[in-house]
Amino acid sequence: MSTVDELAPIVVHDSARASRRERLRLVLRSKTFLVGAAIGAFWVFCALFGPAVVPENPYADDILNKLQPPSAEHWFGTDRLGRDVFSRVIVGARDILIVAPLATLVGTVLGTALGLVTGYFRGLADDVIMRVVDAFLAIPVVVIGLLALTVVGPSRVAVILVIGIVFTPIIARTVRAAVLSERELEYVEAARLRNEHTPYVLFGEILPNVLGPVLVEFTVRLGYAIFAIATLSFLGFGIQPPAPDWGLQIFENYGLLSAGDWWPTLFPALAIATLVVGVNLIADGLTQAFER
């Protein structure tokens, strides 16, 4: 009997590690994940080293050479102030890749905490909080972001907090659903019988077991965060000039499309498209691996 007691935790530990390894193998074998990861890695590289490798200063005006079409000198042409579009697109990765992951992180941390508490305690607090969540969900993310940024004024920190808070109820809902099934399992009962403190049961016992869904939710939300932040920047309520943010570049230049000056709009548009598609392929690869 005693040998079994000593062996049991080791066996459980091993199988947990094996299933984690199996999952990792599935993720690394998924073509969508690998393609997405390659695209993501490219933009992360641009965000980290872009300012050091671009041919021109992305902020430098050169009004005499404004709106030059793509050429050997300016690969992506120049914009209405004569700035080099190629340099601005490469350096522009930095803003979105700082703001979007931080916003998603804020939403994931707050949402996970909220989801753990509401899912674990159920009852009145759960009902009330879920009603408020429903009310928040009735307003599209872009619309509520626009409202909030009009009130507090646009800045990077404001965008991070607003998007983070808007995502909180959405993530809370996913985590809550996962907690609802976890709380009925024996290990939670066991922790409760050992008289563990509730915060320990929540964050020490249940949280590690719902980290899979939380990770998947984080990557899915990251895609939406890039979507929403780029849109807010495009509407003029996100990242402010003269930053080389992609949404902002499109906002500044799309009026020139009908005059035939397509390059200052099309290249940032392609940058956004590749980044969101990359993140979504990563999310898709992870989802498939975790749902098996």
Partner 1 sequence: MGRFILRRVALALVTLWLLSVIVFVACEVMPGDVARSILGPTAAPETVAALNERLGTNDPVLARYGDWIAGIPRGDLGESYAFRRPVDEMIGPALWNSAKLAFLAFLLVVPLGILGGVTAALYEGRALDRAISVGGLSASAIPEFVWAVTVILVFGIWLDVLPVSAQAPPGASFLTQVEYLILPALCLVFVLFGYLARMARAGTAEALDSDYTRTAVLKGLPRRTVIRRHVLRNSLLPTIAVVATQTGYLIGGLVAIELIFNYPGIGRLLVRAADQKDFPLLQGTVLVIGVVYLLATLAADLAYAYLNPRIRYGRAFS
Residue 285 contacts residue 18 (beta carbons within 8 Å): no
Among 18, 41, 143, 185, binds partner 1 (CB under 8 A): 143
Give 48 or 273: the residue with its C-beta nearer to partner 1. Answer: 273
Question: In angstroms, how far is the first alpha carbon of the chain from the final one?
Answer: 35
Residue 32 in contact with partner 1, rule: CB under 8 A: yes
Give 143 or 190: the residue with its C-beta nearer to partner 1. Answer: 143
Name which of residues 36 to 95 contact partner 1 (CB under 8 A): none
Beta carbon of residue 39, minimum distance to partner 1 (angstroms, whole number): 11
Binding mask 109-138 toward partner 1 (x if CB under 8 A, else -) reads: ----------------------xx-xxxxx
Beta carbon of residue 157, minimum distance to partner 1 (angstroms, whole number): 16
Beta carbon of residue 247, minimum distance to partner 1 (angstroms, whole number): 8
Binding mask 218-257 toward partner 1 (x if CB under 8 A, else -) reads: -----x---x--xx--xxxx---------x--x---x--x
Name which of residues 185 to 224 contact partner 1 (CB under 8 A): 223
For the chain, give the DSSP string: -HHHHHHHHHHHHHHHHHHHHHHHHHHHH-HHHHHHHHHHHHHHHHHHHHHHH-SS-TT---GGGTTPPS-SSSTT-B-TT--BHHHHHHHHHHHHHHHHHHHHHHHHHHHHHHHHHHHHH-HHHHHHHHHHHHHHHTS-HHHHHHHHHHHH---HHHHHHHHHHHHHHHHHHHHHHHHHHHTTSHHHHHHHHTT--HHHIIIIIIHHHHHHHHHHHHHHHHHHHHHHHHHHHHTTSSSPTTS--HHHHHHHHGGGGGGT--HHHHHHHHHHHHHHHHHHHHHHHHHHHHH-
Give 210 or 276: the residue with its C-beta nearer to partner 1. Answer: 276
Give 65 or 274: the residue with its C-beta nearer to partner 1. Answer: 274
* Closest to 118 in 3D by CA, of 197, 169, 176: 176
Name which of residues 257 to 286 contact partner 1 (CB under 8 A): 257-258, 260, 262, 265-266, 269, 272-273, 276-277, 279-281, 284
Name which of residues 148 to 167 contact partner 1 (CB under 8 A): 148-152
Residue 10 in contact with partner 1, rule: CB under 8 A: no
CA distance 126 to 188: 19
Beta carbon of residue 259, minimum distance to partner 1 (angstroms, whole number): 9
Beta carbon of residue 194, minimum distance to partner 1 (angstroms, whole number): 31
CA distance 208 to 214: 10
Beta carbon of residue 283, minimum distance to partner 1 (angstroms, whole number): 9
* Binding footprint of partner 1, residue count (CB under 8 A): 47
Residue 155 contacts residue 98 (beta carbons within 8 Å): no
Task: Give contact residues for partner 1 (rule: CB under 8 A).
Answer: 32, 131-132, 134-144, 146-152, 223, 227, 230-231, 234-237, 247, 250, 254, 257-258, 260, 262, 265-266, 269, 272-273, 276-277, 279-281, 284
